[in-house]
Amino acid sequence: MHTPNARPKRSGAPIDYAGYVLIAPGYIVYFAFLFVPLLIGMYYSFTDYNFYAKPEFVGLHNYTRLLHDELFGRAVYNTFIYSLFSILPQMALGLLLAVLLNGKIAGRVFARASIYVPNVTSMVAVSMIWLWIYDPSLGILNRLLRTFGLDPVQWLYDPGTAMGAIIAMSIWKSLGYTMIVYLAGLQSIPSSLYEAARVDGASRIRQFFAITIPMLKPTTFFILVMSCINSFMVFEQVNILTNGGPLNSTTTIVHQIYLRGFQDFQMGYASAMAMVLFLITLLITILNFRLGNQGNDLDAD
């Protein structure tokens, strides 16, 4: 029986393998350097692997140990504090700078480049520079405080200021990236929208909240997701500036993974920490996608 809407069957159509060949390197790299290490780390998290002896299966011992590890709990808390107080100011300042440098002002190219340079500088180099800035006796910050008659501050040696010092440095380094992404988003907004708003008598502030902010939703969503992922991977600046101190006030999850795995040689326990970090990052990313509707919830009209 003939069906009018039935599609004709393709018989003997040649398969073009060129596309598969072109995408194969990406999948090979992903499989070899991401998926396979993830599976290996998952396996080690259920063992007592220590680099030297053959790993033995210990079940959920490493995970139950994490529940009673106060130091790991402190690291999780510090990581969330770092993420909260670094992401929001970074996004706000990045948007402000992008709006300012998107206009036709003198020296905007130099200003953009100057703000972006720290982002392409090695984190180790940046940390060493800020280690000098925060130095109690020779650092420029304490010299400024002395100039105004104030007492010097032990920026990296006081539990009350150490995490704030690391956050300030991290915001300074990553600000250029956020600014550049927001600049790209601003330049993709049709100028006709602003022209129509000006005809209707909308002020610049009204245009910013009624046009700029809504049209930047996909850009903001992208920056938020990437910033969340990167903030939970914080390690270099903590390891160089404070090594997790003072009194574990700046230790983070990745820092604890490094200490347990490569100093204490408890690779099985470190792998369990890594799996917990993976789950936290995955859950936060999924939550961002749910709340942000993948950044595509703009009204098409």
Whether the pLDDT of residue 8 is over 80: the answer is no
132-137: long-range contacts, CB 8 A cutoff, minimum separation 24? 134/165, 134/241
| CATH for 117 | 1.10.3720.10
Average of per-residue pLDDT across 286-292? 81
52 or 248, which is more confident? 248
Average of per-residue pLDDT across 193-208? 88
Residue 299 confidence (pLDDT): 45
Q: What is the pLDDT of residues 101-112, one digit of tens each?
A: 988 888 888 999
Residue 281 confidence (pLDDT): 92
CA-based nearest residue to 124, from 267, 237, 6: 237
Cβ distance 48 to 271 under 8 Å?
no
What is the full DSSP assignment across 39-93?
HHHHHHTTB---SSSPP-B-TTHHHHHHHT-HHHHHHHHHHHHHHHHHHHHHHHH
Domain residues for the domain of 142 are 20-295
Q: What is the pLDDT of residues 128-182, one digit of tens each?
A: 999 999 998 888 999 999 999 889 999 999 999 999 999 999 999 999 999 999 9
In this structure, is residue 50 part of a structural domain? yes
Report the alpha-carbon distance of residue 91 to residue 110 in Å, rounded: 21
Domain count, the chain: 1
In this structure, is residue 5 part of a structural domain? no
- Indicate the pTM of the whole model: 0.85
Residue 10 confidence (pLDDT): 56
In this structure, is residue 171 part of a structural domain? yes
In this structure, is residue 275 part of a structural domain? yes
Placement of tokens 């998107």 in the chain: 102
Percent pLDDT > 70 in the chain is 92
Report the alpha-carbon distance of residue 137 to residue 160 in Å, rounded: 19
Residue 270 confidence (pLDDT): 94
Whether the pLDDT of residue 206 is over 70: the answer is yes
In this structure, is residue 194 part of a structural domain? yes
Q: Output the CA torsion sign for 268, 271, 276, 277.
A: positive
In this structure, is residue 13 part of a structural domain? no
Average pLDDT, the chain: 88
In this structure, is residue 252 part of a structural domain? yes
Whether the pLDDT of residue 6 is over 70: the answer is no
Report the alpha-carbon distance of residue 284 to residue 224 in Å, rounded: 11
Which 3 state secondary structure label does DSSP give 4? coil
Two tokens, residue 126: 């940046």
Residue 47's beta-bridge partner residues?
A: 57
In this structure, is residue 223 part of a structural domain? yes
User: What is the residue type of 53?
Assistant: A
